[in-house]
Amino acid sequence: MPCLSSPQDTHTGTHTTFLLSCSVSFHRLIHPQFTSGYTPIHRIAPDRSPFAFGCCRRRWWFPQPRRSGMRASGFRRLAPFLLVLAAAAVVDASYRGGDHNFHRDFDVVWGEGNARFRDGGRLVELSLDERTGARLQSKERYLFGRFDLEIKLVPGESAGTITSFYICTGGARHDEVDFEFLGNVSGEPYLLHTNIFSDGKGEREQQFVLWFDPTQDFHTYSILWNPHNIILYIDGTPIRVFKNNAAYGVPFPTRQPVHVFASIWDAEDWATQGGRVKTNWSSAPFVATYRRYNVSNACVWDDDSRRRCLGPEESSSVGRRQPSWMAQRMDWWSWMTLNWVRMNYMAYDYCEDRKRFPHGFPAECIIPIGQT
């Protein structure tokens, strides 16, 4: 389904298609046949994280998390420090983002009255009320790049709301990479929902509990997309990787340029605890704040179907110059931190949902995660 559809819901039988989001398959996660129970969140995200906030020991409930067979080791004892050092070691690209300006670089494609530009366009507030939400779309299109955005999520009561940051091509066979933050009742945590579409195929949902309160301050969410892999980061810490395994029959986005999107919208039918908790409109408007948008490391797609790549350059094997981020892959440090995030903060992984895939997992789930 194209990302650019109009903001409305259509219902067909037992399936619901939300035209505000390209993540059309998420309803399967909260369909009864895929929700076999609930598990207290302190079993998913124990308070070992250096970023944990004071209420981590409360019993928060989410769909059944993955059951990892990994065994505890000395790595667990060192892992909290890895997150700190990994975040400190990565220079936050958003601080180097030049003079990017939301008002200049984006169009308000839905809910114009609910997008408020502040600080000369360097910050934007997107709000949701009973009338409408809001969505921004970048004026430029990009074929590969690193996309950084700082977000402070809706504080307090946010059940039924979704705040998002994603890249998407549009079209029936679209490519897309999603950060979607599912709101919750006051005092309970957000759930980060991620999905990756390639050649129109999605159903690659992974969900995470965050190791910090995303409503108290800004945090940097990043998408690195190059011909080798797609890597999702939070404050420089990798949380998900999708390798280019086209050689194994897994489609990988390489041909279609994307727009960058930011939005807030109502999805009370499924967003919070499977739709059991509805949007409390007495708490509206719900406001999410975005700043420090950075695409200084990206390839702009021009009107002549050519790309113009930005960022530090390095020599390629054929002697031409290419941006260094274009060849970036996961190193051993990144794999260690990613592994720790998966063990402690992953709440759902489609690659372990046998009820959803009774006849066999998708091909990319069978290929070892580090294989190229």
Structure confidence at residue 77 (pLDDT)? 53
Q: Is residue 341 part of a domain?
A: yes
Structure confidence at residue 303 (pLDDT)? 75
Question: For residue 362, what are the contacts with CB-CB under 8 A and spacing of at least 6?
Answer: 203, 204, 250, 350, 351
Q: Is residue 110 part of a domain?
A: yes
Structure confidence at residue 304 (pLDDT)? 74
Selecting among 157, 176, 268, 364, the annotated active-site residue is 176
Structure confidence at residue 305 (pLDDT)? 67
- Specify the number of domains making up the chain: 1
Query: The domain spanning residue 166 has which CATH number?
Result: 2.60.120.200
Selecting among 125, 150, 157, 180, the annotated active-site residue is 180
Q: Is residue 371 part of a domain?
A: no
The residues with which 194 forms a beta bridge, in sequence order, are: 179, 206
Q: Is residue 3 part of a domain?
A: no
- Which domain range does residue 225 map to? 9-366
Q: Is residue 285 part of a domain?
A: yes
pLDDT in tens, the chain (372 residues): 347 544 443 333 333 333 333 433 333 333 333 333 333 333 333 333 333 323 332 333 334 344 444 444 454 555 555 555 544 444 444 444 457 899 999 999 999 999 999 999 999 999 999 999 999 999 999 999 999 999 999 999 999 999 999 999 998 899 999 999 999 998 889 999 999 999 999 999 999 999 999 999 999 999 999 999 999 999 999 999 999 999 999 999 999 999 999 999 999 999 998 899 999 999 999 999 999 999 999 999 987 767 788 666 655 555 557 788 999 999 999 999 999 999 999 999 999 999 999 999 999 998 876 544
Active site residue 176: yes
Q: Is residue 153 part of a domain?
A: yes
Q: Is residue 2 part of a domain?
A: no
> In Å, how far are 18, 74, 114, 274, 280 from 267, measured between CA atoms?
8, 42, 17, 10, 12
Q: Is residue 1 part of a domain?
A: no
Active site residue 180: yes
Buried-state track 119-149, b at ≥16 Cβ within 10 A, e below 16: eeebbbbbbbbeebbbbbbbebbbbbbbbbb
